[in-house]
């Protein structure tokens, strides 16, 4: 608003003095007006960009909340089914006892089945607790990453959650020069910010995944896009390990070539979107399996 008033004031002064100033002063005033007008347009564009970022974050938060609500609803339905089965099985057992239809051993077997239902009930409660912890961790990761990378152009980096997995997509134009797998100095700064967040969660393992567009590639020892995608993934991995001291045991390097596109390869924009390096926060499946074994 202040910028707009300044432009209007400058315009008024220009119009008031147009008849009594020299051509040189008039040109100076016109140049000043053009400069202020350009600055005003730039600020308007920044405002629209901020509004768009705010909407994207809000939409993602809403989607995560919906996924969590759906899972909690399923767990609630399972709990209701267990309560129903426990109630009805107890009634049937009492009736069979009264009629002396079942033997003592059979009655004991039925009691054991009911006890197993109680164990499953506890198991579902543990899964529900694990789900809540995982949701909280993913949300914290996404918020921390977006905060750390707030100064990076939105078209160069994208952070999202899909099916409870956190993805960090970094455009290759930010990481590498064209046809190269040498990480740029600017990219090292960006990777340093990502590494800072990852180092704050030392139990998390992740995959660095290289991706290319479908245009054929061959250069020196590299035979094709498979080679290029793997080389770019390992280049990023070495930066995270050597420059930012991330334990290499936590990292998997992989290349998918041109075979996991996120956009059609028949346009320049689509090919640019497909040329990316993706950091995938891997689910902690070992903890999940331990939980399953514990409740067998």
The torsion region of residue 220 among left (phi > 0), alpha (psi -120 to 50) and beta comes to left
CA-based nearest residue to 164, from 139, 183, 143, 184:
139
pLDDT at site 111: 66
Same domain, 210 and 293: yes
Same domain, 274 and 193: yes
Q: Which helix (H) or strand (E) holds 162?
A: strand 157-162
Q: Which of 135, 159, 187 is the last residue of a domain?
A: 135
Identify whether 62 is part of a domain.
no
The DSSP call for residue 222 is B
Helix 2-16 to helix 23-99 angle, to the nearest 10 degrees? Answer: 160
Give the residues across from 160 on adjacent strands. 167
pLDDT at site 92: 61
Identify whether 53 is part of a domain.
no
Identify whether 83 is part of a domain.
yes
- 157 neighbors 104 (Cβ within 8 angstroms): no
Same domain, 91 and 201: no
Does pTM top 0.85 for this prediction? no
Identify whether 58 is part of a domain.
no
Query: Residue 187: which residues within 8 A CB-CB, separation 6 or more?
Result: 170, 174, 175, 176, 239
pLDDT at site 288: 47
Same domain, 130 and 173: no
Same domain, 174 and 125: no
pLDDT at site 249: 95
Phi, psi of 15 (to 5 degrees): -70, -40
Which structure tokens are listed for 280? 């995938």
pLDDT at site 210: 95
pLDDT at site 139: 76
Phi, psi of 263 (to 5 degrees): -150, 160
Number of domains, the chain: 3
CA-based nearest residue to 171, from 281, 53, 275, 257:
275
Q: What's the full length of the chain, in residues?
A: 296
Same domain, 85 and 194: no
Same domain, 112 and 168: no
Q: Which domain holds residue 285?
A: 149-296
Tell me how far apart the alpha carbons of residues 28 and 294 are, in angstroms, rounded to a whole number: 79
Same domain, 260 and 130: no
| Residue 134: C-alpha distances to residues 97, 127, 144, 201, 285 (Å) | 46, 10, 15, 13, 12
- 157 neighbors 171 (Cβ within 8 angstroms): yes
Identify whether 77 is part of a domain.
yes
Same domain, 107 and 193: no
CA-based nearest residue to 256, from 281, 227, 279:
227
Same domain, 173 and 287: yes
Identify whether 158 is part of a domain.
yes
Same domain, 29 and 116: no
pLDDT at site 46: 77
The two most distant CA atoms of the chain are separated, in Å, by 117
Q: Which of 83, 109, 135 is the last residue of a domain?
A: 135
Tell me how far apart the alpha carbons of residues 188 and 235 are, in angstroms, rounded to a whole number: 11
Identify whether 144 is part of a domain.
no
Identify whether 143 is part of a domain.
no
Domain CATH code at residue 272: 3.30.1330.60
- Side-chain-side CA neighbours of 40 within 13 Å: the count stands at 14
Same domain, 7 and 107: no
Q: Which helix (H) or strand (E) holds 95?
A: helix 23-99
- Walk along the chain (296 residues) and give the pLDDT tens digit of each residue: 544 445 545 555 545 554 556 777 778 877 888 888 777 877 777 777 777 777 777 777 777 778 777 778 878 887 887 777 777 766 666 655 555 555 666 666 766 766 666 666 665 655 555 555 566 667 777 888 888 888 777 678 888 888 778 899 999 989 998 778 999 998 999 999 999 999 988 888 999 999 999 998 888 788 899 999 999 999 999 999 999 999 999 999 999 999 999 999 999 999 999 999 999 988 765 554 454 455 45
């Amino acid at each position: 608003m202040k910028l707009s008033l300044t432009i209007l004031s400058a315009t008024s002064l220009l119009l008031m003095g147009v008849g009594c100033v020299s051509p040189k002063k008039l040109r100076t005033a016109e140049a000043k007006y053009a400069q202020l007008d350009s600055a005003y347009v730039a600020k308007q564009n920044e405002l629209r960009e901020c509004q768009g970022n705010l909407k994207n974050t809000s939409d993602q938060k809403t989607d995560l909340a919906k996924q969590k609500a759906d899972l909690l609803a399923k767990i609630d339905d399972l709990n209701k089914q267990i309560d129903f089965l426990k109630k009805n099985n107890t009634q049937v057992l009492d009736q069979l006892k009264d009629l002396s239809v079942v033997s003592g051993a059979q009655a004991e077997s039925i009691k054991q089945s009911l006890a197993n239902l109680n164990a499953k009930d506890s198991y579902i409660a543990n899964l529900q607790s694990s789900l809540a912890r995982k949701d909280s961790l993913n949300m914290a990761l996404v918020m921390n990453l977006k905060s750390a990378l707030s100064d990076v152009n939105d078209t160069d980096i994208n952070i999202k959650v899909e099916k409870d997995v956190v993805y960090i997509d970094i455009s290759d134009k930010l990481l590498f020069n064209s046809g190269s797998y040498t990480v740029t100095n600017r990219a090292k700064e960006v990777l340093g910010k990502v590494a800072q967040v990852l180092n704050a969660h030392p139990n998390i393992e992740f995959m660095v995944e290289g991706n290319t567009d479908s245009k054929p590639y061959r250069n020196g020892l590299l035979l094709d896009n498979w080679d290029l995608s793997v080389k770019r993934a390992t280049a990023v991995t070495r930066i995270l390990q050597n420059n930012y001291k991330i334990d290499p045991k936590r990292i998997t390097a992989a290349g998918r070539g041109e075979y996991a596109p996120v956009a059609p390869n028949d346009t320049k924009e689509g090919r640019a979107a497909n040329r990316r390096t993706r950091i995938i926060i891997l689910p902690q499946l070992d903890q999940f399996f331990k939980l399953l074994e514990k409740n067998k």
